[in-house]
Structure 1
């Protein structure tokens, strides 16, 4: 084998090693990008879940307040009806 052939083989081997190293790095980068995408989606979902939970809690509190108000008004109307029935009986 001549010196020139040896250098060509060495250069090819070196290029193959460099290509292999680049392929490994590209693979790691792609994996890293995929993980970043998953993390972003997870963060977005968590954020939306938190907002929806807060809205749900606010709606539940409003519903409870309306229910209590309705019950109080029903009791007041019932009392008024009893009073009016008593006045009607007197008439």
Structure 2
């Protein structure tokens, strides 16, 4: 084997090793990028979930307050209806119907 052949083989082997090392680094970088993207997406999802949960809790509180207000209004109206029915009965008695 001549000196040139030896150097060519050595260079090819070194280039293959360097290429292999570069490919390995690229693979690790791609994996890191995917992980970073996944983490970012997860953080975004967690943030949105927290906001939606807070809004849901606020809406539930509003609904409970509205329900209580509706119940109180219904009771007040029922009481007033009973009063008016009593007055109507009294008026009918006075008028004679």
TM-score (norm. length: structure 2)? 0.87
Q: Would you say 1:31 and 2:31 are equivalent positions?
A: yes
Per-residue deviation, residues 4-52 of structure 1 (Å, max 9, x unmatched)? 2212211111111000000000011111111111111111111111111
Stretches of structure 1 lacking an aligned partner (at least 5 in a row): none
d(CA) in 2 for partners of 1:32, 1:43: 16
Query: Structure 1 stretches (4+) deviating beyond 4 angstroms?
Result: none
Stretches of structure 2 lacking an aligned partner (at least 5 in a row): 92-97
> For 1:43-58, what aligned pairs fall within 5 Å after superposition?
43-58=43-58
TM-score (norm. length: structure 1)? 0.92
**Range with bigger deviation, 20-29 or 47-56:** 47-56
What RMSD, in angstroms, separates the aligned Cα atoms of the two structures?
1.0
